[in-house]
Structure 1
Amino acid sequence: MIIDMHTHVWGGRYEPHTHDLIANCERYGIAKIIVSGIARQYPNEAEIEQHNNDIVRFRKERPDLVEGYVYANPRHANAEDALRRGIEDDGMVGLKLWIASYCDDPLVYPLVERCIRLDVPILLHAFHKAVNQLPDETTGEHVARLADRYPEAKLIMAHLGGNAYHGIKAVRDKPNVWTDFSGSLFGREDIDYAVSQLGSDRVLFGSDMPGCSFITNYAQVQEADLTPRQREDIYSNNAIKLFRLSI
């Protein structure tokens, strides 16, 4: 069983992106996808509302396949209310934070505290780059500081932190931090490293579809030095437990 916990519908591309996601799920036998809507780095309130409405629509169209993240911009005064509505009214299973602020910015604290009360995970874009690091772009070190402040929060550092040997080192002693390897940027040796440092129970399968390839990410796990049970944990068991999914 495959649960892809990191996929997107980019703003303004609802029809092609939902079509591509469904086609890949059918082609590769993906049991469940968890989807967030995103677009530009600093979206306004109307854009955030539209992104979240897209995911609510997708869930209604394919309730058998789709779960959703609430997308929020911590700089908005209504961000906490948008999060509450998304989880309590629309049935989303987590919060997605992208690059509108560092994840450990005090602006984020009310959202984290709300997620703790709601008992839902937070998917954090995290990327460490040699060049072209974006303003307000989270790295593993920011995730680690947030984990220390809120040890009861369930935090997911996306993309292995963008550089496994930077991001994983920062969070390996933070038991409330998981990671995914979405983005088609890594070789199997980075999966091996992540499992050696975190254990297979803190690594989640994500692809970053439709912008990135599912099959590339799948092959990384197939090639990695893992037992069948470890592969099963990464492919589905960890996501089922973390998001409390009914499959």
Structure 2
Amino acid sequence: MFDPDTVVAIDIHTHAEEPCGTHADDGYDGFQAGMAAYFRSPFKHPPTVPETAAYFRERRIGAVIFPVDSERETGFRRYNNEEMAELAAEHSDILIPFASIDPAKGKMGAREARRLVEHYGIRGFKFHPTMQGFYPNDRSAYVLYEAIAEAGVPALFHTGQTGVGAGMRGGNGMRLKFSNPIYIDDVAADFPDMQIVMAHPSFPWQEEALAVATHKPNVWIDLSGWSPKYFPPILVKYANSLLKDRVLFGSDWPAIMPDRWLADFEKLDIKPEVRPRILKENARRLLNI
């Protein structure tokens, strides 16, 4: 089982790219190639869950791992949450499984969420409004949020611009508007006991994200998807002060390599007493471990 005392950090944001061990749908290779080019990925093929576990175990970094259920919006078959959870369970010393459910699944999605928490050890849920094509404050999503809130696990939302579809024709049909973090404000107000993580520096809406997080005590920010050397000064300022207890290390593996992220974080002007909170202690409180 995962022991937080044995790791040097907890990465709150890693992707399960190939948990099913099968070739992706036709068309998905082009999408992955676009992503690899945008992030300058060193991988010829997306890493499997066991490969991900081996990488993080070698570095003594715990990893929250999840798929993204975006099949309705993208046409790419989703990776089965149960299968990913079973693979993560085989590496429970280092992996912490989150699931992903398209909110459009409504009550069926809520049933799935409850089953995943109860029977598969799922510790949270990942949403990607741009890939899933929905506004986070759309009331149709609330039945799923209710199940997550009842389970007492966090919900993690992509915010800001995304590398998904970047540079591809028409952005591969992805619409950035859905990922403005201001829409999280309604969710945080309507579900005050559900812990919410806004993923990434929320370019071009960084100040909206900081406003929501400082106003709503159940909202956190993860720092994934960007090298720390590109963080806007206002984000660093808030991470060092008002939000020091609700900012989280995240890499966005395999798009951003943790080695690179951590090396650049070392050079960032973060107070010594804040650094361990961001790297591990805040995640321990969020995940209740």
Query: Does the residue aligned with 2:253 lie in a helix, a strand or coil?
Result: coil
Residue 21 in 1 paired to residue 62 in 2? no
Q: What root-mean-square deviation, in Å, do the aligned CA atoms of Structure 1 and Structure 2 show? A: 2.8
- Show structure 2 runs of 5+ residues with no match: 1-7, 22-45
Residue 118 in 1 paired to residue 146 in 2? no
1:68-83 mapped onto 2 (5 Å cutoff): 68-77=97-106, 78-83=108-113
Name the stretch that deviates more: 225-234 or 76-85.
Answer: 225-234
Query: Does the residue aligned with 1:201 lie in a helix, a strand or coil?
Result: coil
Moved over 4 A (4+): 11-15, 43-48
Residue 55 in 1 paired to residue 84 in 2? yes
TM-score (norm 2): 0.74
User: Cα–Cα, structure 1 residues 12 and 152, in superposed 2: closer, same or farther, change >3 Å?
Assistant: closer
1:139 counterpart (163, 180, 183): 180
Query: Does the residue aligned with 2:47 lie in a helix, a strand or coil?
Result: helix
Name the stretch that deviates more: 54-63 or 13-22.
Answer: 13-22
Residue 102 in 1 paired to residue 146 in 2? no
1:201-240 mapped onto 2 (5 Å cutoff): 201-240=245-284
Residue 151 in 1 paired to residue 192 in 2? yes
Query: Does the residue aligned with 1:200 lie in a helix, a strand or coil?
Result: coil
CA distance in 1, matches of 2:90, 2:56: 15
CA distance in 2, matches of 1:165, 1:220: 23
Query: Which of the two has greater strand per residue?
Result: 1
Instruction: Report the AA paired with residue 251 of structure 2.
Output: S
Identical aligned residues as a percent: 24
- Show structure 1 runs of 5+ residues with no match: none
Which has the greater radius of gyration?
A: 2
Q: Residue 18 of structure 2 contacts residue 48 of structure 2 at CA under 8 Å; is this kept in 1?
A: no
CA distance in 1, matches of 2:127, 2:13: 12
Q: Report deviation, 1:228.
A: 2.7
TM-score (norm 1): 0.85
Count residues with an aligned counterpart: 242
